[in-house]
Amino acid sequence: MEELDFATAFPFSEGAKKYISNSLINEKVIEIAIERIKRGMAGEIRTTALFSENDKIEWIASFATARMILGFLKNSNITNRFAVTESKIARSMLDKIDEKTVERVGEIFGITTINDGKNIIIDMCAFLKNSPRSIDYKLINRKLTGGRMEIKASEKRRLIEEAIRKRIEIIPLVKDPPQEIKAAASRIDALVPKSSTTVVIKVDNHPPCIAKLLEGAKNHINLNHQARFYLATYLTGINVSEDDITKIYSDLPDFNDRITRYQIGQIKKKGYTTPSCATVMTYGLCCAVCKIGSPLNWHKLSKDRKEEIINGSK
Ligand code: SF4
């Protein structure tokens, strides 16, 4: 892959910096950056076809400009959505490019592997540092040999995707940017619904594991598949409406209204019930010793017992 194409596809790379200069923050680049942020907010995983050298350089500059806008805006929800979308787009690139280029992207994040022709071997530290929050990536489900383990090619790409997301999510605060950046931030801010993203049920009415997931959603932290499934079965189990569950999920960085409603519908249609505490433990989501068998039994406990458990879990 040519240097410019690499920087265009992976604008967070060191090499991309050499294509950017302050003079590039012009009206056109700011408009592209705004569209890029909007794409992130909507979770649209689509790539943009760029042909001329100038278009590619503007595209790289728009990434830096978008980060500047987000750094001034200081809205963690938008930033996290932007990071998720950009990392998924980068992942779609990783699925198309040759192995050598994948290696190169991985090296940016210290994700290096040994391929002996049969297996891909990764160091445990690199694996742990970049693992997505999924049960499949828990060490308990891995065979470790001398601090290393085997991974699949798709898992390697997933680790890189996660590393990209985390890198993009960290945005330095921008205190006094040029006026055009401030104006762009105001335009983005105007698109944020001001009242619909409030968690509609009180966190302290629920068992510690659920309270933690609700707090996570409220703080725009991406929940893994199992956490989302568990939370949805619990909320349907206590008769929270589909609209209210969707509102809670709308705070997640990769929220998609249609998919969320479909999944809630599937949980109801297939009759999935709230898992037992023992099962929640296998998901790695249990965080207290409630001794209640099922999270739904939380609601049968006395106020004093609830407080005792909550204090004990802190
Ligand atoms: S014991 Fe059950 S209810 Fe309590 S935190 Fe663990 S899974 Fe949740």
**pLDDT tens per residue, range 112-122:** 999 888 889 99
91 lies in the same domain as 103: no
Q: Kindly state if the Cβ of 290 falls inside 6 Å of ligand 1.
A: yes
Q: How far lies 154's CA from each of 96, 120, 124, 159, 265, in Å?
A: 12, 11, 17, 9, 30
Give me the helices (H) in the chain, please. 3-9, 27-42, 53-73, 76-94, 99-108, 124-130, 153-169, 179-190, 208-218, 225-237, 242-249, 257-269, 277-283, 303-312
- Lowest pLDDT segment from 13-22, 71-80, 183-192: 13-22
Domain assignment of residue 72, given as a range: 3-95+165-190
Q: Hey, whose CA ends up nearest to atom 4 of ligand 1?
A: 290
- CA distances (Å), origin 46, targets 37, 64, 86, 91, 125: 13, 19, 10, 11, 32
In a domain, 198, yes or no: no
pLDDT digits (tens, 9 = 90+) for 211-236: 999 999 888 888 888 999 999 999 99
Q: What pLDDT does 144 receive?
A: 86
Beta-sheet strand order (sheet of 148-151)? 113-115, 120-123, 148-151, 144-145
What are the b/e assignments for 228-261, b being 16+ CB within 10 Å? Answer: bbbbbbbbbbeebebeebbbbbbbbbbbeeeebe
- If you take atom 6 of ligand 1, which residue's CA is the nearest one? 286
Ligand 1: distance of its center to the CA of 299 in Å?
12
| Same domain, yes or no: 179 and 281 | no
Higher-scoring residue by pLDDT: 132, 202:
132
> Given this model, what pLDDT does residue 204 score?
72
Encoded tokens for 62: 């728009």
Ligand 1: does its nearest atom lie under 6 Å from the Cβ of 277? yes
User: Does residue 231 lie within any of the structural domains?
Assistant: yes
pLDDT of residue 314: 67
* Residue 197: predicted pLDDT: 43
**303's tokens:** 């106020």
Residue 195 within a domain: no
CB distance 295 to 310 below 8 Å: no
Give me the pLDDT at residue 128, please.
92
**In-domain check, residue 196:** no
Share of the chain above pLDDT 90, in %: 61
171 and 52 in a common domain: yes
Closest CA to 40 of 75, 76, 72, 84: 84
Structural domains in the chain (count): 3
Count the Cβ atoms, other than its own, within 10 Å of residue 121. 15
Same domain, 170 and 44: yes
State whether 257 and 282 are in the same domain. yes
Mean residue pLDDT of the chain comes to 89
Q: How far apart are CA 169 and CA 179, in angstroms?
A: 24
82 and 105 share a domain? no
pLDDT given for residue 22 in this prediction: 67
**Substitution site in 276, 280, 292 for ligand 1 pocket (most atoms within 8 Å of beta carbon):** 280
Q: Is residue 197 part of a domain?
A: no
- Cα 294–Cα 222–Cα 144 angle in degrees, nearest 5: 80
180 domain-assigned:
yes
Same domain, 221 and 120: no
Same domain, 8 and 118: no
Say which residue, 103 or 45, is predicted with more confidence.
103
Q: Which residue has the higher pLDDT, 200 or 116?
A: 116
The pLDDT assigned to 196 comes to 45
Q: Would 131 be classed as within a structural domain? A: yes
Domain co-membership, 62 together with 171: yes
The answer on pLDDT for 201 being more than 70 is: no
Give yes or no: residues 46 and 31 share one domain: yes
pLDDT band at 23 (very low <50, low <70, confident <90, very high): low
Most ligand 1 atoms within 8 A of CB, residue of 290, 291, 292 to mutate: 290
- The DSSP H or E segment spanning 123 is strand 120-123
Q: Is the pLDDT of residue 132 over 90?
A: no
To test the ligand 1 pocket, which listed residue (229, 292, 309) has its Cβ within 8 A of the most ligand atoms? 292
pLDDT in tens, 248-269: 998 888 788 888 899 999 999 9
Angle, in degrees to the nearest 10, between helices 153-169 and 99-108: 40
For Cα atoms 243, 252, 311, give the angle at the middle one, nearest 5 degrees: 90
CA 81/CA 48 separation, integer angstroms: 18
Which residues pair with residue 149 across a beta bridge?
Answer: 122, 144
Instruction: For residue 279, tell me if it sits in a domain.
Output: yes
Where is average pLDDT lowest: 11-25, 39-53, 193-207, 299-313? 193-207
Query: Which pLDDT belongs to residue 49?
Result: 84
Residue 194 has a pLDDT of 61
Verify that 183 and 210 share a domain, yes or no.
no
pLDDT of residue 145: 87
76, 186: one domain: yes
